[in-house]
Homo-oligomer: A and B are copies of this chain.
Amino acid sequence: MTPLFYREQEQFYVSVDCIILGFKAGKLYLLISKRKFDPLMGYDTLMGGFLRHDESLSETVSRVVWEYTGIEDVYMEQVGTYGDISRDAGERVVSIAYYALIDMELFDETLCKKHNARWHELEQVGELIFDHNLILNDTLSILRRKAANLPIGFNLLPEKFTIPQLQALYEAIYQTPIDKRNFRKKINEMDILEKQEDKDKSSSKRGAFYYKFNKEKYDQLLQKGYYFSL
């Protein structure tokens, strides 16, 4: 039974917009699709979905990410909420934006076609509908700030990855070259990587050792209040 005071209030459509990011061959990719309904049907849009009464915000995001990628349990983070009166050309919609970092190797290609979705190179994303370009820019600011302090980048890599891959990821996030000796030193100091026996020979003859991210050690560091900076 809804209390009286609430019933006097106005109600709104609430959506989530998902900035789904992946990383492959030294480049960051954004998942976008052609909008499937009017207004602006056919234009490029971020992935999104409407909030339902039986879902929390993060459950809606999980549902949307799962629908389009087939992946569960992704790393996600709230970016912000966009509520200008006319931001959505169709109706008043308050939208909460989240970014999600996923391992592109786990991605289900068939869902891509089903939804008219595609991975677009992040640096060359063109015009998106509504305020989605603004949302994307806000996301990148947050991601850059966040990635400088916490090793969230691991969420964009497969379970086993090489140091040069990790470095290329950070170079893609910051759009700037990084000195590899300094980078390795920093990463080693953190002591959250586990060197594997085998090497990745796909990008060089010599091959680069694989590493795994050690979540336990990472959590321990966080407990101690340790704070990284790259």
What's the minimum C-beta distance from A211 to chain B, rounded to whole angstroms?
Answer: 30
- Residues of chain A touching chain B, judged by Cβ–Cβ distance below 8 Å, are 2-6, 9-14, 37-39, 50-57, 78, 80-81, 83-85, 90-94, 96
Is B94 within 8 A of A14, CB to CB?
Answer: yes
Q: Write the chain B residue with the least CB distance to A9.
A: B50
Oligomeric state, in copies = 2
A2-B90, A5-B90, A10-B51 given; name 6 further pairs at CB < 8 Å: A10-B13, A12-B51, A55-B85, A78-B80, A81-B96, A94-B94
Chain A interface, >50% SS class: loop
With A92-B53, A94-B94 known as contacts, the answer to whether A11 contacts B9 (CB < 8 A) is no
- Measured in the bound complex, the distance between the Cα atoms of B39 and A4 in whole Å is 10
Which 3 pairs between the two chains have the least Cβ-Cβ distance?
A57-B83, A11-B11, A9-B50
Show 13 residue pairs from A and B whose CB-CB distance is below 8 angstroms, ordered by the A residue.
Answer: A3-B37, A5-B38, A6-B91, A9-B13, A10-B13, A10-B52, A11-B13, A51-B94, A53-B85, A57-B83, A80-B81, A94-B94, A94-B96
